[in-house]
Amino acid sequence: MRLARTLAALAAALAIQTTLTSYVQEAAALDFVLVTVVSLALTSGPTTGVLAGSAAGLVQDALSSGVIGIGALAKTVVGFAAGRIGTQFIVTAPLPRFVVFVVATLVHAALFMGLYVLLGVRTFPSPYVAVGGQAVGNAVVGVIGFQLTEWLPVFLARRRLRRPTRR
């Protein structure tokens, strides 16, 4: 059940990344797949983070025009680190989660761009503003996503309880 939920979340993130960005140009700068990997890692632990990051990164790389494996490696490491943080610290309030998403995006960008530059495949002249914007954007999306997934079941349960019973 958990595996199915994880796969569904990653598939939805990939679908959003590749279709929503066609309609909302501002969303193109965000990495919904990374947000999903970090969210899964925070809630399910480092093993899930590694596997989700690895699988989602591979698909994302294969759909992009770059070297397959670089994005996957970056997401694997970020998934592991986020999972470790989720198990070692209490990351349930919006602010700590925001910080985790920001740091995860920065680490991911550093690994991703660093590997490309190291291999001499690609250059990224002055990416700081773009990466900073992406970090904040990813964090906002991640925190809102978390709040919604936690708030929605509670809201539905309350509505069910308030409904008058028929005799």
Q: How far apart are CA 140 and CA 5, in angstroms?
A: 22
Q: Which of 66, 49, 50, 157 is nearest to 115 (CA)?
A: 66
* Residue selected from 37, 38, 72, 78 as contacting other proteins according to rule CB under 8 A: 72
**Is 122 one of the binding residues for other proteins (CB under 8 A)?**
yes
**Is 80 one of the binding residues for other proteins (CB under 8 A)?**
yes
The stretch among 28-36, 96-104, 149-157, 158-166 that binds other proteins (CB under 8 A) is: 28-36
Q: Which is nearer to other proteins, 73 or 143 (CB)?
A: 73
Q: Which is nearer to other proteins, 26 or 95 (CB)?
A: 26
Q: Which of 115, 107, 100 is nearest to 41 (CA)?
A: 100
Direct distance between the N- and C-terminal alpha carbons of the chain, in angstroms, rounded to an integer? 37
**Is 28 one of the binding residues for other proteins (CB under 8 A)?**
yes
* Residue selected from 6, 101, 134, 135 as contacting other proteins according to rule CB under 8 A: 134
* Residue selected from 9, 51, 85, 139 as contacting other proteins according to rule CB under 8 A: 51
Q: Which is nearer to other proteins, 107 or 115 (CB)?
A: 115
Q: How far is CA 5 from the centre of its chain?
A: 15
Q: Which of 152, 73, 80, 145 is nearest to 111 (CA)?
A: 73
**Is 31 one of the binding residues for other proteins (CB under 8 A)?**
yes
Contact criterion met (CB below 8 Å) for 53 and 75: yes
**Is 14 one of the binding residues for other proteins (CB under 8 A)?**
yes
